[in-house]
Structure 1
Amino acid sequence: MSVWRPAREYPAELLEEAVERVVYSGQSVGSVARDLDIAEMMLRRRVDAHYGDRRQKEAVARVRAGETPAAVAKALHTSTMKVDAWLEDFYDRNPEAYHVDHPPEPDPPIEEDVAIELAPPQLSKVDRVLLGWLGSAADDDAACPGLSPHPLSVRPNAVRLRWLHSPPSRFRVMLYTCPDHPVSFELGSLGGRYQFRRTRFVVEDGMSVIECEYSAEIYSRAEADAVWWKLLIGLAR
């Protein structure tokens, strides 16, 4: 029976050899631990971590190659939420890869009659909120308490965002539009990155159903502010 020792006493080369013998040579954890005089439980944790890292890298690579998170999760016997978390962690550590995988779409041409849309980044927060209330004033809905803006009607040249049903691992609401509106939006923080949630009332089999979707793209704060502005004034949907 192998004698327990603190992990720091084992040379890194010895631990690497032990994991390689288990993973690539097919030897059992117990036999390798006895042969190299390593604590079996510690070696087992090392092997489990190796398989976990390898599965995470495979999941990220397959999603980046075009497979859906749901399909990858099924193939690797894990959950879609876990695959989404791996992908989010990868993009957090490799922001340049995110921009490669999600190149920005060119903005549509802006007509002269919507000149107010030309300078949203330069407007103060108060100005942006007040302008967002235009939708609320236009609707004239007596049931609405008027505590948050209504998005304006979608314009013909609006940018179409991609929406997914898979929720993120965390979503802290920062900004929101009126929830009484048929379509409402929320801007959520994901710990330094930002994502949108769209809530719609849809009719299925004669019943009203609430449908929640999340933007496929993850944004920096500056990018999220620009997209939020477009959602408010009907230039994105």
Structure 2
Amino acid sequence: MTTTPDTPSGDLDARNEWPCPGISPHPVRVTSECRALDWDAVPQGRYRVVEHTCSCRTVFYELISCCGLYMIHRVIRNRPPEHAFTGRWTLREAREIWRQVLTGQVR
């Protein structure tokens, strides 16, 4: 398993330093079979947020629509914040990957 910022070895996901508005889902901890996604520092163009996880965590995610395709945007609250993007999927593919992010199967 590749170490990502919110895996048990890096466990930023567990810190809760911001108030929780309680309106968005929280991704669960990664599973032992968690697959690592390939992250890039730059989006493929302008995008809009379709869904998002709660921003009360150190790491939060957004499902975004970008130039007709779908990607996942990961934000790590550092100073300055770190942004990473993955994917170029159809809506059907993106929804499946999004489900896997929420259930801890990929990160």
- The reply to whether TM is greater than 0.5 is yes
Provide the residue aligned with 2:27 in structure 1: 151
CA radius of gyration, larger in = 1
Q: Which residue among 195, 206, 211 is the counterpart of 2:71?
A: 195
**Does 2:82 correspond to 1:211?**
yes
Q: What TM-score do the two structures reach when normalised by structure 2?
A: 0.78
How far apart, in 1, do the equivalents of 2:66 and 2:28 lie? Answer: 26
Richer in helix (by share):
1
Q: How far does the alpha carbon of each residue in 1:55-97 deviate from its partner, in whole angstroms, 9 at most, with x for none?
A: xxxxxxxxxxxxxxxxxxxxxxxxxxxxxxxxxxxxxxxxxxx
Per the TM alignment, residue 233 of structure 1 is displaced from its structure 2 partner at its CA by: 0.9
Preserved CA contact (<8 Å) 2:49 2:64: yes
How far apart, in 2, do the equivalents of 1:183 and 1:141 lie? Answer: 11
Richer in strand (by share):
2
How far apart, in 2, do the equivalents of 1:140 and 1:196 lie? Answer: 22
Runs of 4+ in 1 over 3 A off after TM superposition: 139-142
Length, aligned pairs only: 93
How far apart, in 2, do the equivalents of 1:201 and 1:169 lie? Answer: 22
How far apart, in 1, do the equivalents of 2:80 and 2:37 lie? Answer: 22
How far apart, in 1, do the equivalents of 2:45 and 2:62 lie? Answer: 16
Per the TM alignment, residue 156 of structure 1 is displaced from its structure 2 partner at its CA by: 1.7
**Identical pairs, percent:** 32
1:96-175 matched pairs, under 5 angstroms: 143-175=19-51
How far apart, in 1, do the equivalents of 2:27 and 2:69 lie? Answer: 23
How far apart, in 1, do the equivalents of 2:35 and 2:77 lie? Answer: 21
Paired residue secondary structure (1:224): helix
Change (3 A) 1:142 1:209: closer
Q: What TM-score do the two structures reach when normalised by structure 1?
A: 0.37
| Aligned-residue RMSD, C-alpha | 2.0
Change (3 A) 1:142 1:184: closer
Per the TM alignment, residue 191 of structure 1 is displaced from its structure 2 partner at its CA by: 3.6
The runs of 5 or more residues in structure 1 that have no matched partner are 1-138, 203-207
Paired residue secondary structure (1:214): strand
Provide the residue aligned with 1:220 in structure 2: 90
Paired residue secondary structure (1:234): coil
Change (3 A) 1:140 1:165: closer
How far apart, in 1, do the equivalents of 2:75 and 2:104 lie? Answer: 16
Q: How far does the alpha carbon of each residue in 1:112-155 deviate from its partner, in whole angstroms, 9 at most, with x for none?
A: xxxxxxxxxxxxxxxxxxxxxxxxxxx99892010111111111
